[in-house]
């Protein structure tokens, strides 16, 4: 009887650990998705900044040549 209860309890514990692991794995995937999205956003912003910088340098050069 006691042995049976031990098996039931260990099965419940194993199930609990399994569910916790599934939840942690989902959190890890979600964090990975968030990081990828943030990385894409940073890359896009970097490209925009580079384009604006080039445009500003060109306008500055044209202004210098005009004077």
Q: Count the Cβ atoms, other than its own, within 10 Å of residue 52.
A: 10
Asked whether the predicted pLDDT for residue 5 surpasses 90, the reply is no
CA 66 to each of CA 44, 52, 54, 62: distance values in angstroms, whole numbers, following the listed order: 33, 21, 18, 6
Structure tokens at 16: 């609990």
pLDDT in tens, 20-36: 999 999 999 999 999 99
Q: What is the pLDDT of residues 51-66, one digit of tens each?
A: 999 999 999 999 999 9
Tell if the pTM clears 0.95, that is, is over it: no
Q: How far apart are CA 9 and CA 22, in angstroms?
A: 20
Please state the domain extents for the chain: 1-67
Q: Is residue 4 very low, low, confident or very high in pLDDT (cuts 50, 70, 90)?
A: confident
Which two tokens mark 52? 């604006």
Is the model's pLDDT at 48 over the cut of 90? yes
């Amino acid at each position: 009887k006691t042995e049976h209860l031990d098996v039931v309890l260990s099965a419940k514990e194993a199930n609990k650990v399994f569910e916790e692991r599934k939840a942690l794995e989902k959190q890890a995937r979600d964090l990975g998705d968030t990081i990828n999205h943030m990385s894409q956003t940073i890359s896009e912003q970097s490209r925009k900044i580079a384009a604006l910088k080039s445009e500003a340098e060109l306008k500055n050069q044209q202004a210098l040549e005009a004077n």
